[in-house]
Structure 1
Amino acid sequence: MREPGTAAADGAQPPQGRRSAPPARTRPIRDALHQAAHRIDNATPTTRDRAVDALRAFAILGIILGHWLVTALVADGGTLHTASPLQHMPWLAPISWLFQTLSVFFLVGGHVATKSYTSAQARGTTYPQWLRTRLTRLFAPVAAVLLLWAAVATALLLTGTDLVTVRTLLKLALSPLWFLLVFAALTAATPLVTRLNPLWPLAVVLHVDLVRFGLHGPEALGWVNLAAGWLVPYTLGAAWTRGELNRRSAGWALLATGTTATAALILWADYPASMVGVPGASVSNLNPPTLAAVTFGLAQCGLALLLRGPLRRTLQRRPMAWAAVALVNLSAMTVFLWHQTALMATTATGLAAGHLPGLHTLPDDPTWIAARLAWLPVFAVALLLCWAAFHGYETHGPEGEPALGNGTSPQNPAAQDGAPCLGWSG
């Protein structure tokens, strides 16, 4: 009888319909990955809702890919300025529907925060203690971004770089911070919104838009929606915690009504089709949020709720998929804060080779899209380097204490309440 694994040496062919074994040199890597994935899987408590972590991972990856696809740094003479393919090719607006996933962030954030606050109360933790812990861990990684870009901006100005270029780079690098400020404000308001019906902030958004667009009210009024608009999915997350969205009918209702309302607003109320800002557009759905952005978010939240069951089942059966989700969550703040820096670092490095298609050129035709897709792996490598350099600010606090607290790690993901708002929690 032939010993296992000697068929290739004897010149025999593998049986029909059976895949050949992977090359021997790849087996140690594959086996190590599988072993690590199984360790993470086995260390995860059975009570953990893996769908929460998966939704958060999808949301953050969607935001990153969306920014990389619609943000172009165009080299024009001695300056860099931003442009968007949505500005020159408006038929690409549906792309924004796939990658503008902020509402899922706030849905999960509201669910996790209300769950965490309820647990903290049960343990006797005071509100100031709870809030201080969450905000400290939320903002600790921000210090590295601010320090680095303060140094970069100073160096650029001292070397005579055009002020427009410096302003463009700083705006891109620091743009993720607006989200954290809104998230922090909603986190602080968690005890007040724990039982708030999402219809209340939705009504505020509706009336703000009626005054702003229907009655030609002041544009500044729209900034009320910066809080009210994102409070809608946040309070939906609180309703999820209360068990009010457990039935699939709730997800279907949100998906159907949100989709219908968004379509009606775009077709008959002249709201923009793009769910992200477009340079030069008179109205942005995102800055500040409009009623269309909020109804679109309702549809997203409905879809997310419907996906909970399939995601739980898939991640229970597939340790490799669960390990990937876990690692994204453990690095969520780092990749979120540094993904625009990775794009700009690649752009700056590429300038040495001239104006490269998809990197420095105007995004005004489909060839730019094809070229930009080819650059995505390069952006990912640059982001990986940023992660390697700055991940310590996420995993450790300012005094060297583990930022995830309570032993949270890929091997011990049990500490749910003390984890950062964007990181390992749920």
Structure 2
Amino acid sequence: MSSLAVVARRIEAATPAHRDRAVDGLRALALLAVPTGHWLLGGFTPSPDGALHNASPLGTFAGLAPVSWVLQMLGIFFLVGGYASVLSYRRRKGSTRAWLGGRLARLGRPVLGVTAVWAALLPLLHFGLGVPVDTLRTASTLVVQPLWFVGVYAVVTALTPYCVRAARRLGAWAAAPLLGSVAVVDLLRYGPYADAVPSWLGLLNVLPGWLFAYQLGVSWGEGRVARRHAWALLLGGAALFAVLLLLFGYPASMVGVPGEARTNSHPPSLLVLALAAAQSGAAILLRDRLGALLRRPALWAPVVVVNLSAMTVLCWHQTAMLAAAIPAAYAGEVPGLVGAPDSAGWILARLAWMPVFAGLLLLVGRYARGFESPWTEAGPARRALAGLL
């Protein structure tokens, strides 16, 4: 028996019988979609001085937009987050404040870690190694990019008690007002009077836009989402998605494209909620089948590993890509890594770089995972890094 098989069997033996494997599997899938999407759709173009700037193959290959529909799985992540939070909230032994403090600390520690490390790296890279300022600006943008999600997730987590009340009163319909709110804001900013609407109005979509799937998850965890509701979410979400895309001119890409004036995700548009509804319905319908599939130790073990490293994956995957791109920039253009992402050759070369990024993430994660531990278990070096903030 191989060592991997032995590890898989140990993980299987240590898994509690009541563990909801399907929910963990959905979370792992949504987690892995984040680095996969960023690595596939994020390119770097060099300027004459060798500095790196963000680019995307979606700017040239608009036909790749459906790839973003598959890789944009934040709706699933918030759905599973709401489901897991309500179960944890129900089992809490202390006060609501203590429960919330524990949840927020788990989110905050890795963010402090990656922020502190990069705060130390930026001057070292510039003054010590001569990395151009524009490259560091690009790197900072990419590193911070996933962290907005953690902030939004912290806010919706803080609203869990209110989401539970809404779920108990309204059931599966508790998320409907959030959908309506986003629809109204979209009508104002994209409708016939859009020119008279201030640009900041779209920010009103941030909270209800991401709370929508979380509220669905809370209602699901409360047992208020039946299969008929899941079918309605799947079919209704898919229909709304098609209507918005084909009749109302929403951008096809679910991620921002450099140079495009309009984006679906920052802040979330109604198209994001339509996709989240369809994905949530499909996830709920497939729960039993997925749970049965993950009874196999060989499939269950990777799910456990990914879930245990969730914040490390979210916070450090861009660092892994930058660890390859910044040194490569000194060699000029490198296919699939440094150079305009405007050809089929670039796409093929980028696919070849994916295992390299994954390997670098594993290497970085070996040390960065320590930031997920409670501060009481942190060593002096880790506390010192956090102290830089």
TM-score (norm 1): 0.84
Residue 174 of structure 1, CA deviation? 1.4
Q: Choose which of 45, 53, 65 in structure 1 pairs with 2:36.
A: 65
Distance 1:146 1:292 in 2: 32
* Structure 2 counterpart of 1:6: none
Deviations 1:200-237 (A, max 9, x none): 11111011111111121222111111101011101000
Residue 172 of structure 1, CA deviation? 0.3
Q: Choose which of 86, 89, 112 in structure 2 pairs with 1:143.
A: 112
Q: Match of 1:80, as an amino acid? A: L
Distance 1:169 1:140 in 2: 21
Matched positions, count? 367
* Structure 2 counterpart of 1:244: 224
* Structure 1 counterpart of 2:385: none
Distance 1:237 1:76 in 2: 45
Matched, 1:255 2:224: no
* Structure 2 counterpart of 1:129: 98
Matched, 1:386 2:364: yes
Matched, 1:311 2:290: yes
Contact 1:52 1:108 in 2 (8 A): yes
Distance 1:349 1:188 in 2: 41
* Structure 2 counterpart of 1:344: 322
Report SS of the residue matched to 2:318: helix
Report SS of the residue matched to 1:356: coil
Residue 350 of structure 1, CA deviation? 2.2
Q: Match of 1:187, as an amino acid? A: T
Distance 2:58 2:4 in 1: 39
Residue 71 of structure 1, CA deviation? 0.5
Residue 401 of structure 1, CA deviation? 7.0
Q: Which stretch shows the higher mean deviation, 260-269 or 35-44?
A: 35-44
Q: Choose which of 349, 354, 362 in structure 1 pairs with 2:332.
A: 354
Distance 1:114 1:270 in 2: 37
* Structure 1 counterpart of 2:186: 209
Matched, 1:86 2:55: no
Distance 2:309 2:13 in 1: 20
Q: Choose which of 55, 59, 77 in structure 2 pairs with 1:105.
A: 77
Residue 343 of structure 1, CA deviation? 0.3
Q: Choose which of 304, 309, 312 in structure 2 pairs with 1:331.
A: 309
Q: Match of 1:375, as an amino acid? A: W
Deviations 1:302-333 (A, max 9, x none): 111122111111112x1111111001100111
Distance 1:303 1:367 in 2: 34
Report SS of the residue matched to 2:267: coil
Distance 1:355 1:209 in 2: 41
Distance 2:223 2:125 in 1: 53
Aligned-pair identity (%): 45
Q: Match of 2:216, as an amino acid? A: L
* Structure 2 counterpart of 1:23: none
Contact 1:209 1:290 in 2 (8 A): yes
* Structure 2 counterpart of 1:188: 158
Residue 161 of structure 1, CA deviation? 4.2
Distance 1:192 1:66 in 2: 32
Report SS of the residue matched to 2:253: coil
Q: Match of 2:66, as an amino acid? A: P
Matched, 1:175 2:145: yes
Residue 374 of structure 1, CA deviation? 0.4
CA RMSD of aligned residues (A): 1.5
Matched, 1:296 2:275: yes
Distance 1:181 1:147 in 2: 17
Residue 352 of structure 1, CA deviation? 4.1
Is there any run of 5+ residues in structure 2 with no aligned partner, and where?
167-173, 380-389
* Structure 2 counterpart of 1:35: 6
